[in-house]
Amino acid sequence: MDYVRLGRTGLQVSRLCLGTMNFGPLTSEPDSWAIMEKALELGINFFDTANVYGWKTGEGITEQIVGRWFAQGGRRRDRVVLATKVYGRMGDWPNEKGLSAYHIKRACEESLRRLRTDHLDLYQMHHVDRDTPWDEIWQAMEQLVREGKVLYVGSSNFAGWHIACAQASAGQRHFLGLVSEQSLYNLNARTIELEVVPACQALGLGLIPWSPLAGGLLGGILRKIDEGRRASDRIQKAAQKYKDQLEAYEALCKKLGEEPANVALAWLLHQPAVTAPIVGPRTSEQLSAPLRALSLPLSDDVRKQLDGIWPGPGGPAPEAYAW
C-alpha cells in the first residue's frame, strides 16, 4: 500500500480510502467487520463514514457498526485514520441538522459515542451551510480541537468559493481550517476541475473523490449487462445515455488488458490533487481488486484517449471559458 500526506498536513493516509456507506443497508454487520479487517490487512488505514449513514434518522447505524468493531480491541482504532461527517438531519426538532455551533457540538458527541472512541481524526462538514457564519462554525470546531475530540477538519461537497471563504475566515482566526475536501469526481463527473481542484491545490487541501466509478457506470457496465447481470434502473438509464462513450471506454480498457474499474481508479490516482479515492465494497472479496489501480501505469497517450472519451470542462476557470 502507498501512503501520502493528507493535504498540507503531516498525516499519512493510504491512497485508497475505505467507504462505509454500505455498512448496514446493504452489508451485514459481520460482513462489514470482515471488510474492515481485510482493509487493515491490505494496509488501508483511512476509513470514511458519516453520522447519517444507515439512513434511519438519528440512529447512525453505520457509525455504530464501526464502533462495535473498534470495541473488539486489538489496536483497531489506533491503526485507523477515522473520518466522519456532520450536517445531515439527525432528528425532527430544530437545530438537529446544519452547522450551527449547537448542532456541531451535539453531533460530535453523538458520533464519538456511536464510534466508541474519544476523538475523530477528520471531522468533515458534509455540505456547506449558507445560514451559519464562518466565525460560528470555526469557533465550534476550535473548541472541539482544544478538547482533543477532533484533530483535523475537512469539507465535503463544497464549491471552490466556499473553500476559499472558509480558509479566509480560518486564517483570520489563526486556525488551520480545512485540510481536505471530499467531492464527486470521476471520469464522467469532472466539473470540479473548474474551481474546486484549483482551490484545493492552492490552499493545501487533500482531495478525496467519492463515487470514483460513477455508481458502477465505469466498472464495465456494458459487459455486465450483456452477461445478464442486473443493474439498477438508474445505471441502466445512464448506460443508455452514455452508450457511445462507454463502448469506446470499455474497448480501450480491453485493449489495455485491464478492468474498467481499475482504469477509472488509476486515472483518479494520476490526478495531482487527489489524495485517496473512496472505495465502497459490499464484500471483503471485492476489496482486493482496487489494489491493481495503485500500480497501473497510464501513459500520456492513454490519458489523452481517456480525455477524448470523457472530456472535462476544459481545465481550471476562468481559462476554461475565457482567457
Could you give the residue numbers annotated as active site?
53
Within 13 A of 261's CA, how many CA atoms are on the CB side? 19
Q: At 81, which helix (H) or strand (E)?
A: strand 81-86
- Cell triple for 83: 473520518
User: What per-residue string of b and e applies to 39-62 under the rule 16 or more CB within 10 Å gives b?
Assistant: bbebebbbbbbbbbbbeeeebbbb
Query: Is the Cα torsion angle 186, 188, 190, 191 positive or negative in sign?
Result: negative
63 phi/psi in degrees, rounded to 5: -60, -40
Assign 72 to helix, strand or coil.
coil
301 phi/psi in degrees, rounded to 5: -65, -40
Query: Is the Cα torsion angle 260, 155, 158, 192 positive or negative in sign?
Result: negative
